[in-house]
């Protein structure tokens, strides 16, 4: 609760500063659950004053890519609309920095994972709220960080595991790594969370309910405590130890009254 109050106070202060001084302000990186909790707290305290407005100030959630897992809440001055802000942020990297990390010699490089990159950044003494998404493929990674730690990373991060690496600041729009998906289609009796989990991960309804009861399942960044409510199309579901998927919704009903649904499972 103390952390929630601190974050709410921080958001109020940022909105006030943007309103009074007419310049961009923003939080540090927040996870999906933190973003969800922040929006709920703002709503509960009467701070949601319009579509994409907190305390009468327009805001944008921005993390460097269209579907960032970790993002900042950015407050916009009166002279800047959302489209102009996003274009400027993507092209110039003024809100956050994107750093491309590559092995100096690909022939002798380890196969590095998200955990390896995150661990290397944390070993530099960088706090988690300064680090956004880390997108990787077999040859490189793009990391999104707050501007105040970018120089430290570029100067000091020279080795990850046994691999010598080089770091280059690039515009966020230069990131050419996008998540890959596997599309799943199947029938369920309802759009209940436990039914969808059972379909996606080939579980019994009982096992799906156990995952939910162990607080291993979050929907749109918020931990789910019950499998008995219906998912909405577009919901992002994360399951600890299993992965993440996007629920796309129903396609049609079968003759027996079951629902044909589609899911995009992160590969």
The alpha-carbon radius of gyration of the chain (Å, integer) is 21
Fold assignment, 2-90: Ribosomal Protein S8; Chain: A, domain 1 (3.30.1370)
Fold assignment, 96-174: Alpha-Beta Plaits (3.30.70)
* pLDDT value for 66: 87
pLDDT tens for each residue of the chain, 267 residues long: 567 788 899 999 999 999 999 999 999 999 887 888 899 899 999 999 999 999 999 999 999 998 888 999 999 999 999 999 999 999 998 899 999 999 999 998 999 988 899 999 999 999 999 999 999 998 999 999 999 999 999 999 999 999 999 999 999 999 999 878 899 999 999 999 999 999 999 999 999 999 999 999 999 878 898 888 889 888 899 998 898 999 999 988 888 889 999 999 987
Instruction: Tell me the CATH number for domain 181-266.
Output: 3.10.290.10
What are the residue ranges spanned by the domains of the chain?
A: 2-90, 96-174, 181-266
| Residues forming a β-bridge with 99 | 143, 169
Q: Cα–Cα distance between 221 and 209 in angstroms, integer?
A: 18
* pLDDT value for 150: 97
* Cβ partners under 8 Å of residue 127, min gap 6: none
**2-90 and 96-174: same fold?**
no
pTM: 0.81
Locate 20 and state its tokens.
């009074």
* pLDDT value for 1: 57
SS (H, E, C) the chain: CHHHHHHHHHHHHHHHHHHHHCCCEECCCECHHHHHHHHHHHHHCCCEEECCEECCEEEEEECCCCCCCCEEEEECCCCCCHHHHHHHHHHHCCCEEEEEEEECCHHHCCCCCHHHHHHHHHHCCCCHHHEEEEEECCCCEEEEEEHHHHHHHHHHCCEECCEEEEEEEECHHHCCCCCCEEEEEEEECCCEHHHHHHHHHCCCHHHHHHHHHCCCEEECCEECCCCCCECCCCCEEEECCCEEEEEEEEEEECCCCCEEEEEEEEC
* pLDDT value for 79: 95
Locate 133 and state its tokens.
């998404």
Q: Cα–Cα distance between 117 and 135 in angstroms, integer?
A: 10
């Amino acid at each position: 609760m103390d952390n929630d109050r601190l974050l709410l106070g921080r958001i109020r202060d940022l909105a006030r500063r943007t309103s009074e001084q007419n310049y961009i302000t923003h939080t540090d990186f927040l996870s999906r659950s933190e973003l969800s909790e922040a929006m709920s707290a703002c709503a509960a305290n009467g701070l949601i004053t319009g579509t994409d407005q907190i305390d009468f100030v327009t805001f944008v959630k921005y993390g460097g890519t269209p579907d960032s897992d970790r993002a900042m809440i950015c407050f916009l001055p009166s002279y800047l609309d959302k489209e102009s802000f996003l274009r400027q942020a993507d092209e110039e990297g003024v809100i956050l920095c994107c750093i491309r990390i590559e092995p100096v010699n690909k022939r002798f490089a380890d196969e590095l994972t998200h955990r390896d990159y995150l661990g290397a950044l944390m070993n530099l003494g960088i706090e988690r709220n300064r680090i956004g998404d880390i997108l990787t493929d077999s040859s490189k990674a793009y990391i999104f960080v707050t501007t105040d730690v970018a120089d430290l990373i570029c100067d000091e991060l020279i080795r990850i595991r046994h691999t010598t690496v080089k770091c280059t600041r690039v515009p966020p729009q230069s990131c050419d790594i996008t998540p890959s998906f596997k599309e799943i289609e199947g029938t369920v009796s309802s759009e209940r969370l436990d039914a969808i989990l059972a379909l996606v991960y080939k579980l019994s309804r009982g096992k799906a309910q156990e995952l939910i009861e162990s607080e291993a399942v979050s929907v749109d960044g918020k931990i789910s405590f019950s499998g008995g409510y219906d998912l909405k199309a577009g919901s992002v579901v994360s399951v600890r130890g299993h992965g993440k998927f996007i629920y796309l919704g129903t396609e049609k009903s079968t003759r027996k009254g079951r629902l044909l649904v589609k899911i995009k499972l992160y590969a």
